Structure 1
């Protein structure tokens, strides 16, 4: 049964209380008998009980149990709007607590029934999944803790989501012994009220454990004193606030100092408290977040898994197989360890991957956190929806996006075309056509003009080629037609040589231009380029689970050998050939921003936030998040960023560099080949000349040349 009613003495609440006192589960008119003959009798009985309960409530202030009055003051202090009162059975404390809370305006009160389930005594109330009792509640949980049976009920309930809920346990001085078998994680929100024998004075305590196998730590956090009032004095239902956090006004009145049980209570300075005079008594209670001030984790040993990712994660290997984590994330982890006093042992992740689900099983650092091999992953793990479903991520430490890294073209890549790529094929074709036309025109002019020396066809073409290479000729041009052809050839030489030499000098000095690629689509459409990314990273999830058609097509075409085991290995592959690697932009800038042999395409993808990963529902998450906020707000993170030494180079700046042999090897090879061709032509000419020499002239062949 889980009924809620609003304060002010509503019928459903009174019916519920009356039903519990009568040993029955009354739920109002909704549970009335379906038999019409007894329905009027039920209504009469119900109104009688309602009137009786209303009369008792009017006298509740005089006959109230003091402990229940404290619950009312506690709810009033924190302005709690929903309360669940839990008890293993119906008893006067339960009834009186419900009466007190029902009279409080604006508070929805319920007494949920708890159906006990089979629990595993060996595992206690650890965060591991195990059968839980049926229990439904929203708001503050209030429960009396005075007997072993009540302790066992609390132990059954205090699992899973209930660990992170707010609890008020009403107990006595033996509460440490009662709670000893119960695991109280670091992030629990339990307040324990330790009452005096008369129930008019109480001290407030908190208890927690750094880990399941360490002892419970208990500290006082507040106190409550019932204030005697005149019999007919009006009790306000609203709190009277005191602005002073140390309670100077109340202390001057002697409210707390007059009671030995609370007068000497030493509340730690880290607990921020406020004192308020309320409807029944005066209450001093914490107003901060308990898990965020529990910074002393002495005795806790943390196992971490990590991966090399310079300069964010730099690993120093030890002989025993462990590593020391340095770099930016190492400094953050060391700061967390120094503040909280825990110890740690770090190891490199076994499979070298970051964290991806394959066949229903998580691998990499996320997999080691999920299966319990590690307590934390110290690396810039991308926070994704899939990973967040199985692990807890701390607040963002570093944010960046992904880009595509490629090899920058160089003159060495154009060994055979470095001296021909200055013009496109169409320009080269046009130049050859014009040269042939000029050669033919020169031959026609020399044959048909009466004042020009006749030239052979081969001599005409060689003359035009000589003009193009800046050479002269022994031929004389005496006519306007011949001189026009000659000037046209010289003009062609001037234009072509000017464009060619300027482009070639620029290419040899600055290097070739970047390829005409802008984004992933251009890379995917180029069959000469192989695309890949680092294996086991968030990119696997980005491509595999994406609904984008382009990403899906790229994922279908990726082979296992296209993936790189690590980012440095992938960049080596980029330098070697036609390989495009998707890489974190920040990592590329810090490690390869000075290397002009590689560049990154302008398009960016998958903006991500990265941080540490912890097991799901880890009690360390709230505290670690608070500490990271302190590190960021104090400027330490910015300081550590400035200490990272990395530089970038403007590869577009003009800088003359020596020309390598590989760049000029092609023209030297052509020169050598031309020399060999000329020798071959010489041999052919001598052979042809000997064949065509007349027999009458052979007698002069033995005459030596003068």
Structure 2
């Protein structure tokens, strides 16, 4: 008898619910759940997403009833997002805030269309709560929920006394849904009635599984809610074999690529190791290619080049090497967490003795010192000439003979002219003393410069390079340096860019290798990021790095703009950085730099002695000319010898 009464009681309740639904009333338990959900997460701003109509064309009023209940129980701001614009054109005119919670339904096809239209244009960081029933897995098949969505689905039983919370996402549009049951709400004083969407049913529909989350339980006004309190995006770390398209370039030791016969490349190096570790932890695969034009990415005549262009054109999903972070690039792509920070340095060829073939034997003294030496020489010549012609004890010397005698003293030689007077001998001692001074200072500097090489140039800054007409400045084309120069607040840097832009086909290179090759051959100074140059050429003491650093920038992996993979990638990058693996890979790919600070002893080449031998040849030629002139004069008298 009692069982029969209970049967009729449940039947009556169900009939009342059906009638209420037909009249435009809805599951009151869902409204109570929303009230407790708002209190649980302390939501202050709510947007109600209401289509205004059921599938059968009847006007509904669920949002008004929910609005009325929330206003009575909470101090919150509530707005309504309508389906139509005020002009009645039928076009969607949605106005969503940048924060808070958006509450909508996912029970009918009209609900699905409205949610799909709004969700596809809304910011990905917005939080959603969709009120659904046990049929929501079938509706999910018609929409795309990316990996980074923050949608919570509240699936209610028939009576609205037990509601299960779910999350769902797709790795890509052609992938099936992955769903996770994350929580549950139970109404106060009610036993579970009806049937929940069971785990088995969802497995058959979309492949569900449970996930471990940081949970909290709270008893509120209408029931008990158990729900997660962490970021849902941090737990979507299994990409289940998702295949990504990677674009990269040769940039050792960051990315060391090797071409394959099928047109793809292998990616190793510091960032290559990082990317491989990310693929292992997140369970995705990838294929890497070079950028279509071989550049990294610069804005030229309004069009992007290189890696950036491949990402913008959806040719690639992620860049497998680091890119400099610039404001211009950040408008079209998204940077992940920064990995390394370093600056650009100026590189030039270290001077050698071969560079001083014309001035190797005169650069020991400054111009002022050489003028002083010449002045002292002629002063001693005049004194010797005057004393030899005034002294009664000395045979007279001509001015030419006096000059020859003092010149032989400067060269460390003696003379056959008899110097009989004391005044002439003292003058000769003055010439010999000057010889000692020249020998001490000039010879020591000459020997050291010929053996140890010339000193490093006095260039230090890019301003020095710009002011030196003998050098040409350049860098790799299609890199962030074009942006740094062009947008710099430094007038000098902008002037340098203007001079480079006029001859960029001449001074800009296609690669670091080409730039260093030009440094070794020409009077060319190359501006490049410090780390790759030191990795490839740090052992080569012919290369000199100037001390001033420019454009200290952060570098990072790059993905397509607003990619759903961003939070997942950032999470695993943070884990790798915290583990010290990046430092390990840097050590693995580091090379020992050459000890270029020690004294460099090198043999004297032909170019270094070309100048003196050329002067000797001129002297021989001059001597022959003078001999010819003397014979032509045919002087009759004998030359008196002393």
**Which category describes the TM-score, using the shorter chain as reference length?**
0.7 to 0.9
| Stretch moving more, 282-291 or 176-185 | 282-291
2: CA distance, partners of 1:503 / 1:339: 62
2: CA distance, partners of 1:568 / 1:279: 70
Asked whether the equivalents of residues 132 and 159 of structure 1 are also in contact (C-alpha less than 8 Å), the reply is no
Asked whether the equivalents of residues 114 and 135 of structure 1 are also in contact (C-alpha less than 8 Å), the reply is no
Matching of residue 200 in structure 1 with residue 161 in structure 2: yes
2: CA distance, partners of 1:260 / 1:183: 27
Residue number among 566, 574, 577 corresponding to 1:632 in the alignment? 577
Residue number among 684, 687, 692 corresponding to 2:635 in the alignment? 692
The 4+ residue runs of structure 1 with deviation greater than 6 A are 262-267
Aligned pairs (5 A) from 1:411-430:
411-430=353-372
2: CA distance, partners of 1:655 / 1:563: 32
Residue number among 95, 106, 125 corresponding to 2:75 in the alignment? 106
SS at structure 2 position matched to 1:164: coil
Asked whether the equivalents of residues 347 and 546 of structure 2 are also in contact (C-alpha less than 8 Å), the reply is yes
SS at structure 1 position matched to 2:433: helix
Once the two structures are TM-superposed, the CA of residue 494 in structure 1 deviates from its matched residue by 1.1
Matching of residue 134 in structure 1 with residue 94 in structure 2: yes
Asked whether the equivalents of residues 133 and 156 of structure 1 are also in contact (C-alpha less than 8 Å), the reply is no
SS at structure 2 position matched to 1:284: strand
1:576-598 deviation digits (Å, cap 9, x = unpaired): 22222221122233233332222
Asked whether the equivalents of residues 272 and 287 of structure 1 are also in contact (C-alpha less than 8 Å), the reply is yes
Once the two structures are TM-superposed, the CA of residue 426 in structure 1 deviates from its matched residue by 2.3
2: CA distance, partners of 1:178 / 1:503: 88
Once the two structures are TM-superposed, the CA of residue 656 in structure 1 deviates from its matched residue by 2.6
What is the TM-score of this pair, normalised by structure 1?
0.80
2: CA distance, partners of 1:213 / 1:267: 20
Asked whether the equivalents of residues 65 and 96 of structure 1 are also in contact (C-alpha less than 8 Å), the reply is no
Residue number among 116, 129, 139 corresponding to 1:168 in the alignment? 129
1:537-567 deviation digits (Å, cap 9, x = unpaired): 1111112223432222112211222211112
Residue number among 560, 580, 584 corresponding to 2:525 in the alignment? 580
1: CA distance, partners of 2:120 / 2:29: 30
Matching of residue 333 in structure 1 with residue 293 in structure 2: no
Residue number among 84, 88, 97 corresponding to 1:115 in the alignment? 84
**1:604 paired residue number:** 549
**1:498 paired residue number:** 440
**1:179 paired residue number:** 140
SS at structure 1 position matched to 2:564: coil
SS at structure 1 position matched to 2:182: strand
| Stretch moving more, 106-115 or 389-398 | 106-115
The structure showing larger relative contact order (alpha-carbon pairs under 8 Å, at least 6 residues apart) is: 2
2: CA distance, partners of 1:268 / 1:134: 34
SS at structure 1 position matched to 2:592: coil
Once the two structures are TM-superposed, the CA of residue 408 in structure 1 deviates from its matched residue by 2.0
2: CA distance, partners of 1:167 / 1:501: 85
Asked whether the equivalents of residues 306 and 365 of structure 1 are also in contact (C-alpha less than 8 Å), the reply is yes
Residue number among 44, 54, 75 corresponding to 1:81 in the alignment? 44
SS at structure 2 position matched to 1:608: strand
| Stretch moving more, 187-196 or 81-90 | 81-90
**2:240 paired residue number:** 298
1:680-703 deviation digits (Å, cap 9, x = unpaired): 444444454xx3348xx9xxxxxx
Residue number among 551, 565, 568 corresponding to 1:620 in the alignment? 565
1:222-247 deviation digits (Å, cap 9, x = unpaired): 11111218xxxxxxxxxxxxxxxxxx
2: CA distance, partners of 1:154 / 1:262: 21
**1:224 paired residue number:** 185
2: CA distance, partners of 1:571 / 1:672: 38
Residue number among 160, 176, 184 corresponding to 1:215 in the alignment? 176
Tell me, which stretches of 5 or more residues in structure 1 are unaligned? 1-22, 24-59, 119-130, 230-254, 698-706
Aligned pairs (5 A) from 1:3-22:
none
Once the two structures are TM-superposed, the CA of residue 83 in structure 1 deviates from its matched residue by 1.3
Asked whether the equivalents of residues 405 and 598 of structure 1 are also in contact (C-alpha less than 8 Å), the reply is yes
**1:69 paired residue number:** 32
Once the two structures are TM-superposed, the CA of residue 654 in structure 1 deviates from its matched residue by 2.0
**1:238 paired residue number:** none
Residue number among 62, 75, 82 corresponding to 1:93 in the alignment? 62
Once the two structures are TM-superposed, the CA of residue 646 in structure 1 deviates from its matched residue by 1.6
SS at structure 1 position matched to 2:148: coil
SS at structure 2 position matched to 1:604: strand
1:605-634 deviation digits (Å, cap 9, x = unpaired): 211111111111100011101111000001
1:472-520 deviation digits (Å, cap 9, x = unpaired): 1123323221122111101111112211012112222332222232212
Once the two structures are TM-superposed, the CA of residue 132 in structure 1 deviates from its matched residue by 5.5
2: CA distance, partners of 1:666 / 1:492: 24
Asked whether the equivalents of residues 271 and 288 of structure 1 are also in contact (C-alpha less than 8 Å), the reply is yes
Residue number among 535, 539, 545 corresponding to 2:481 in the alignment? 539
Once the two structures are TM-superposed, the CA of residue 148 in structure 1 deviates from its matched residue by 0.7
**2:591 paired residue number:** 646
What is the TM-score of this pair, normalised by structure 2?
0.87
Asked whether the equivalents of residues 134 and 197 of structure 2 are also in contact (C-alpha less than 8 Å), the reply is no
**2:394 paired residue number:** 452
Matching of residue 567 in structure 1 with residue 512 in structure 2: yes
Once the two structures are TM-superposed, the CA of residue 407 in structure 1 deviates from its matched residue by 2.1
Q: How many residues align?
A: 595
SS at structure 2 position matched to 1:311: coil
| Stretch moving more, 266-275 or 279-288 | 266-275
Residue number among 479, 486, 492 corresponding to 2:428 in the alignment? 486
Residue number among 377, 386, 391 corresponding to 1:435 in the alignment? 377
Asked whether the equivalents of residues 292 and 626 of structure 1 are also in contact (C-alpha less than 8 Å), the reply is yes
Cα 1:286–1:264 shift into 2, 3 Å: same
**1:27 paired residue number:** none
Asked whether the equivalents of residues 422 and 503 of structure 1 are also in contact (C-alpha less than 8 Å), the reply is yes
1: CA distance, partners of 2:127 / 2:338: 27
Asked whether the equivalents of residues 407 and 597 of structure 1 are also in contact (C-alpha less than 8 Å), the reply is yes
Asked whether the equivalents of residues 83 and 142 of structure 1 are also in contact (C-alpha less than 8 Å), the reply is yes
**2:310 paired residue number:** 368
**1:388 paired residue number:** 330
SS at structure 2 position matched to 1:111: strand
1: CA distance, partners of 2:320 / 2:583: 19
Aligned pairs (5 A) from 1:452-531:
452-531=394-473
Aligned pairs (5 A) from 1:677-688:
677-688=622-633
2: CA distance, partners of 1:615 / 1:681: 82
1:324-344 deviation digits (Å, cap 9, x = unpaired): 111011011111111122221
Asked whether the equivalents of residues 196 and 202 of structure 1 are also in contact (C-alpha less than 8 Å), the reply is yes
SS at structure 2 position matched to 1:692: coil
Asked whether the equivalents of residues 65 and 93 of structure 1 are also in contact (C-alpha less than 8 Å), the reply is no
